[in-house]
Chains A and B, each alone.
Chain A
Amino acid sequence: MKSLSQYINLYAECRRQLDLVPKPIAALRPKALDALRVFSEQTMRRAPYTEAAIDRLLEPDYGLNIQRMGFAVDLSATFRCEVPNISTLLGVTLNDTFRPTESLMRNIPEGLTVCSLTKAAAGMPSVVERYLNTLAADSTPQAALNTLLFQDGVFVYAAKGVSVERPVQLVNIFNAPVPLMAPRRLLVVAEQGASLRLLLCDHSQRNDIDYLSNEVIEVFVHRDASVEIYTIEENGASTRHITSFHCRQEEGARLTLNTNTLSTATSTATYTIDLAGTGADTRLGGMVIADAGQTVVQNVELTHSVPDCTSTQNFKFALSGKSKGAFGGKIVVKEGAVRTNAAQTNRNLIASDDARMTTAPQLEIYCDDVKCSHGATTGQLDPLALFYMRSRGIPEAEARLMLTQAFMADVVDSISYDLIRDRLRQLVERRLSGEKASCAACAAENTCHC
């Protein structure tokens, strides 16, 4: 991957500033650098569309905020974009710098830590060392690049048995006057029996400047703990987004991950999940709505390592314009992972002649006595339904919207947290009716607050 060498050089030049981070972070750099050097020599190892796309994404010479300059941001405009009627524990990451809000500091319950990753690395180094980069482990070029360059991030920690009622909402915002890459990093740990809800929102406040978010998320769900994560991506038309999501679930641990890509230029996500403890349960849901020249890639690599785990996946894409979508869904059932129950569906709706969808479900089963199913379909809106609606006076555009909403309904309906479910329904409707999600528009609307 040719694009990497410019970052390797950048690191060499700016090493002194970049390594001005607490030791648990700085200590990760040498390995990441070695890994990147190897990746930079290689071409397209696997999942070709992903690696080729990543190479292209990294190609432009983005700036990084190495000097940790502060950018002005109108936080009040951003806050209005958030989820109304949910009082969340809110933290904002501006470009790649975490800023807790006053209300977060005031309202954070006993047993929950939400803070900047550098602060955590300095204050509780042994905890951070135990987890940080142990899952991502420089396994892909984008993850290694993040590890080489990130200077801040967010740390969320729920202590043993702590059940956090209010969702923790982490909002990523881009706002810089020049093209910028933000290596974002999130580390989540739910100790035994803890439960936690996270709402991750991505916004960019400008449509005209190229931004690249290269994000690594690591989630540890310990025994009988539960983590629910909802993501909503509403980035601007020039924002590119790479997500490397890694999760490890211990015995009886539950993970719900529901991702919603509503607008972006290019968004490539890989969800790597290891069901490592018996009885663990994973529920993945994904919704992608793309149009114009947008590209959205979702890869799942889910591994059943031990007996008696269950996983479900339901990913849906609605593509129009010249947009491209790709879904790669790999389920690995390791030897000995008996009584595994894994189901995967990927359904896609193509609403224009120029939209393209690639889907590649993949099962690797090294064990008998398992239940695995997968199914993928790609089709168009039902022309009979469309005509039926129009014959009753429903204008074509509205009929298409209603049918697309109906297509997505089960992903949204499967969200058990009602306030987020209702909000998503609104966002989907707004998105499908052609209103661009933008902070400016939302501020004008002035309906939601935090």
Chain B
Amino acid sequence: MKEALLKVENLRAGIDGKEILRGLNLTVHPGEVHAIMGPNGSGKSTFGGVLAGDPRFSVESGSATFHGTDLFGLSPEDRSHEGLFLSFQYPVEIPGVTMVNFMRAAVNAKRKYFGQEPMGAADFLKMMRQKRAIVELDNKLASRSVNEGFSGGEKKRNEIFQMAVLEPRLAILDETDSGLDIDALRIVAAGVNALKTNDNATIVITHYQRLLDYIKPDFVHILYKGQIVHSGGPELALELEEKGYDWIKQQHQS
């Protein structure tokens, strides 16, 4: 078996002294797709945020090893350079910073991290065009401020566009399906699938089977009260669709 891409052990993390993740374990190998499901407020977004280095959260104990390096020892920007990508549940609007400048800064920061020269203007624009095509993102958005005035669906497409540009080794997609119409869902899922290789992996956080029809998971996990309480194959998602979470909640009443 290949070496783990991400290994999270006994992760405890929270915010302002309130514990949200309570001993979370998860191992992801290259080439795998993991789905994380679970009731509202169970800590799914917190998990994504903690992995990406959201400074609002503090890690109390446990570890996360990302292709051999201690993830929590890296700044958010270095986590990105090392190949971690979080598609935000709520992408942030940044008035006054254009998409083009934002992406140019991101691309060139990564190149600098790996000792490469900044990308030439023509090459950069060409790449932007190619990557936009993957999620059929309207190119008029390029000159607009980051996410400002984007529709819900445009914001989600924009996340996957950024993922396409940054070519992460591990992408965490936090409810990327919410707010997408049926056609957009298909386009975005196709984009994610097109970016899939044997060397990278995806964690899909979602509430609905719908997305998993397009992005087929190898594993499905249920996150409840800050722990992964149940794992299974793709059939688990179908089971949840049918039965809801009551049985899980009952099992973990005590």
Contact = CB atoms under 8 A, between A and B. Distances in A.
A398 B109 contact: yes
B75 A403 contact: no
A388 B88 CA distance: 9
Interface in B44-101: 52-56, 75-77, 79-81, 85-86, 88, 91-97, 101
B92 A393 contact: no
Interface stretch (A10-18, A122-130, A405-413): A405-413
A393 B96 contact: no
B53 A385 contact: no
A45 interface: no
B53 A388 contact: no
A66 interface: no
Q: How large is the interface on A (under 10, 10 to 19, 20 to 34, 35 or more residues)?
A: 20 to 34
B141 interface: no
B86 A385 contact: no
Given A394-B105, A394-B109, A385 B77 contact: no
Contacts of A48: none
Given A398-B109, A402-B101, A405-B96, A387 B77 contact: no
A223 to B, nearest CB: 38
A388 B162 CA distance: 12
A383 B79 CA distance: 18
Nearest to A409: B96
Contacts of B55: 383, 387
Given A383-B55, A395-B109, A398-B105, A390 B77 contact: yes
B110 interface: yes
Interface string A399-437: 100110111011000000000000000000000000000
A393 B80 contact: yes
A47 interface: no
Interface centre among A398, A403, A405, A406 (most CB of B within 10 A): A406
A46 interface: no
A106 interface: no
Contacts, number: 81
A396 B88 contact: no
B240 interface: no
Contacts of B88: 388, 391
B26 interface: no
Interface centre among B97, B102, B162 (most CB of A within 10 A): B97
Interface residues of B, number: 32
Contacts of B94: 382, 385, 388-389, 403, 406
A394 B77 contact: yes
Interface in B106-154: 106, 109-110, 113, 145-146
Given A384-B92, A388-B92, A398-B105, A393 B77 contact: yes
Given A387-B54, A393-B110, A398-B109, A406 B80 contact: no
Interface string B7-42: 000000000000000000000000000000000000
A314 to B, nearest CB: 14
Contacts of A387: 53-56, 76, 92
A406 B105 contact: no
Given A393-B109, A398-B109, A388 B91 contact: yes
A284 to B, nearest CB: 21
Contacts of B113: 393
B92 A392 contact: no
Contact of B52 (A391, A396, A407): A391
Contacts of A382: 92, 94
A392 B166 contact: yes
A393 B97 CA distance: 15
B80 A392 contact: yes
Interface in B147-172: 162, 166
Interface in A348-403: 382-385, 387-396, 398-399, 402-403
Given A387-B55, A395-B109, A403 B162 contact: no
A382 B55 CA distance: 13
Contact of B106 (A384, A392, A403, A406): A392
Contacts of B92: 382, 384-385, 387-388
Nearest to B103: A392
Nearest to B112: A395
A394 B106 contact: yes
B40 to A, nearest CB: 20
Nearest to A398: B105
Nearest to B92: A388
Contact of A402 (B77, B79, B105): B105
Nearest to B86: A391
Contacts of B75: 390, 396
Contacts of B96: 403, 405-407, 409-410
Interface centre among A394, A395, A399, A409 (most CB of B within 10 A): A394
A394 B85 CA distance: 13
Contact of A403 (B52, B76, B79, B97): B97
A424 to B, nearest CB: 15
B69 to A, nearest CB: 16
Contacts of A388: 88, 91-92, 94, 146
B37 to A, nearest CB: 23
Contacts of B102: 389, 392, 394, 402
A391 B80 contact: yes
Contacts of A396: 75, 77
A396 B88 CA distance: 19
A405 B75 CA distance: 23
Given A385-B94, A392-B102, A395-B109, 8 more contacts: A382-B92, A389-B102, A390-B75, A391-B53, A394-B77, A394-B109, A406-B94, A409-B96
Interface of B: 52-56, 75-77, 79-81, 85-86, 88, 91-97, 101-102, 105-106, 109-110, 113, 145-146, 162, 166
9 contacts: A383-B55, A384-B92, A388-B92, A391-B76, A393-B106, A396-B77, A399-B105, A403-B96, A403-B97
Q: Pick the 7 closest A-B CB pairs, nearest first.
A: A406-B96, A393-B80, A390-B76, A388-B92, A392-B106, A393-B109, A409-B96
